[in-house]
Structure 1
């Protein structure tokens, strides 16, 4: 029941159903979810540990605000870890992997044109998740999971679809072309540029 409460609250926070600074009362959440207060409290503690909920002792619990400074920190961690995954994957990458990346990028482009922001962000994540999983480094995948959740929340909150098309798609193509040549330096440069440009697009919408 704690996991059920956690997964539901996490989804609501990431998707914005529970907006930043929304007060969270375990009794109300218990009634809405049909779950007792104890697993609700446990779920909130876990979300607090992950930085998605903040608590003032004996006063209130609320959804964590989205902080522009946090965006800078999280994105830099994200591109550093993903560049490491890319570096590890270059010697191992196959033509099948390249074909999957190309297919994922084309799918991403089609979804961008649909106007569905959530689906577009998820398709973008699928492309990057393929890169992360290529070297088979489970610890690296685990480290990136929490980062990716916070980034998805920020993207849903700030991003406009018209700011991503076709720039993100073209940036992905540059990564793929470097991987085809097994050029680790160029692949990492293209990947880092994609992350930095995404951060720039968030900055534009913060103003």
Structure 2
């Protein structure tokens, strides 16, 4: 495995989560490509940690479908499994529907302003062909109602299954084909502001359903 460039020291207070996040993000952004062998000692050296949190991260990533492990043989970055991506997309869409349904009425004026600002950054990133910027803005926008909902179980499910979709989304957001999400985001925010719980939840679901055609190819 080619070792990526050095990374900042991992926070000891959040060691396990930081290690998991960094390895996950390297898989999602393509730094670690499909089929690439993952050696815990190399990852540990890259992150500046012991092997234990790396092994724990790889197990979590295996459960998410981003890593494939053959007992006694090797651990590799999983290829994109269309069935797994479809399953993840269905779950993620439903979880965001639920999050918005629970968040409407809890969102503050500042929350709504931050969602609008995130959507503006999302549009700008799409127009610039900046897939990473588009994903970061999309994460921020959808994360606001998730946080407002305050449902820890829902957040945990999204944390497990959203990364499976991110590799698909990077391809989508690399082109201008993601522009339709800008209008859906704006509609979502307006409905949240109006307090229309059912309609806002439905639009949130539609936003994530726009990924479905990519999973049929």
Query: What TM-score do the two structures reach when normalised by structure 1?
Result: 0.83
Give 1:161 deviation, angstroms: 2.4
- 2:184 corresponds in structure 1 to 171
| CA displacement, residues 48-88 of structure 1 (integer Å, 9 cap, x when unaligned) | 23332111122222111211111211111111111111111
3-state SS of the aligned residue for 1:113?
A: helix
Instruction: State how many pairs are aligned.
Output: 203
Residue 206 of structure 2: which of 187, 193, 205 is its match?
193
Q: Does 1:65 align with 2:79?
A: yes
Structure 2: stretches of 5+ with no match in the other structure: 1-9
Structure 1: stretches of 5+ with no match in the other structure: none
Q: 1:181 to 1:18 in 2, by over 3 A?
A: same
Correspondence list, 1:29-40, <5 A:
29=43, 37=51, 39-40=53-54
Q: 1:182 to 1:48 in 2, by over 3 A?
A: same
Comparing 136-145 with 10-19, which one deviates more in the overlay? 136-145
- 1:17 corresponds in structure 2 to 31
Comparing 188-197 with 23-32, which one deviates more in the overlay? 23-32
Comparing 90-99 with 63-72, which one deviates more in the overlay? 90-99
Query: What TM-score do the two structures reach when normalised by structure 2?
Result: 0.80
Q: Does 1:183 align with 2:196?
A: yes
Q: 1:184 to 1:23 in 2, by over 3 A?
A: same
Comparing 105-114 with 67-76, which one deviates more in the overlay? 105-114
Q: Does 1:145 align with 2:159?
A: yes
Q: CA RMSD in A?
A: 2.5
- 2:3 corresponds in structure 1 to none
Q: 1:75 to 1:179 in 2, by over 3 A?
A: same
Residue 161 of structure 1: which of 175, 183, 205 is its match?
175
Q: 1:139 to 1:196 in 2, by over 3 A?
A: same
Check whether the contact 2:122–2:137 (CA below 8 A) recurs between aligned residues.
yes
Q: Does 1:131 align with 2:145?
A: yes
